Amino acid sequence: MEDPYSFCEICRINHTSGKKHSFSSKHTARLKTILKKFGSKISDSKKKLLNPVISKASSELSAVNVWCYMCSVEVKRHVADHHAIIMDAGLLEHLATSEHAKKVHQFFWENRLSKEQKKNYLVNEEGLDSFKEALKNALACYENEEETQLKKQAMKIKAIECTQTNVVNQKEDDLQITTQSEQQSGPSSGHSSGSWGNSSSGIKPHSKVQTEGVSKPHSKVQTEGVVYSDGLTFIGRSNCLPDGNVHTGAVPPWLRADDGEPTQTKPIGPTEQDFQEHLKKERKRKLNPARVGANFDRTSTNNPDWMPSFGRVWNSGRRLQSKQQYQRETGNWKKRKTMNGHHSGKY
């Protein structure tokens, strides 16, 4: 027995109308939208048949896909070639295949479309061949432009390196001049009076020059002049961080414990308990502030006799008996006979 239901790829529904479904208003409107959407992409791609467009490779462009409604398959829109991307090359190749031509013919026949529109969704072999010929010239021009750009960048890098080496050499020359001037001025300082120190010879000059990172272009040249004598005290640089610094993985100074103080055992930042309390407050914040019991203080202690407990839910009998039993327990019970006698004497 044949299945009365048939599935429509355009409307994405099962129907029992048969061939009449192709003429329904819903199917026609949906088909018009699909053809307009897919036809605009194909028209944009066909503009690149004679003038191929090549752009730099990127993950976003290489991941763009197009859904072919005639073949019901997903097609890559662009083609990646080494370090470049050929725009709309994948879609043009798909439109030129024989399988796509068969599917287009079947699609137009099932949806009762005019045959004159078929050419808008196909690419002939001659057009594809002309695209490939134009693509060769476009790739050659693109490679030449890339080479010229690389050469310009290389020239800029070389110019920067030359300026950096010139600066370093000039600093070395200035450093040598300063050291020579210090050495020449050293003996003249020794003819001063002997009031400096206990020795009669005066000051003994010793010059020490330290250069750091001369090979690096942006490094600083540091000079230190140190003078030794019997009556002078040397004040130099001290290693205040023997264990290293922040860049070598040592503990920062602001996290170290002071002398005589215990080390900090509390973890830095919020704990898991603080996080749970924060989540609890966030949940309460979303509730209605005017709800019943919103302002109830659950931490307060109340007297157990704040509410009479003569309900006796699990007792059998009348409620009055439960009340009398409660009054007997609390000592506020008065016999019923006395009450009856009091009322009878009144009347």
Top pLDDT among 297 and 307 is at 297
Q: Are 78 and 59 in contact (CB under 8 A)?
A: no
State the DSSP H helix or E strand holding residue 95, giving kind and residue range, or none if neither: helix 89-95
| Residue 117: pLDDT over 50 | yes
**What are residue 68's phi and psi, to 5 degrees?**
-90, 115
DSSP 8-state assignment for residue 154 = H
Nearest CA among 272, 269, 245 for reference residue 256:
245
Residues found in the chain = 347
pLDDT at residue 321, as a whole number: 80
Per-residue tokens: 185:
């001025």
Phi then psi dihedrals of residue 201, to 5 deg: -80, -15
Give the per-residue pLDDT at 17. 85
Phi, psi of 67 (to 5 degrees): -90, 120
Cβ–Cβ < 8 Å for 46, 123:
yes
Quote the pLDDT of residue 298. 78
3-state percent breakdown (helix, strand, coil) of the chain, nearest 5: 50, 10, 45
What is the rounded CA–CA span in Å between residue 151 and residue 153?
5
CA distance 156 to 170: 21
Q: What's the whole-number mean pLDDT along residues 44-57?
A: 88
- In this prediction, residues 207-232 reach a mean pLDDT of 46
Q: Answer whether 37's CB lies under 8 Å from 29's CB.
A: no
What are the start-end ranges of the E strands in 83-125? Answer: 84-86
C-alpha 265/C-alpha 267 separation (Å) is 6
Each residue's pLDDT tens digit, 159-196 = 999 988 888 888 888 888 888 777 776 554 444 444 44
Q: How confident is the model at residue 342 (pLDDT cuts 50, 70, 90)?
A: low
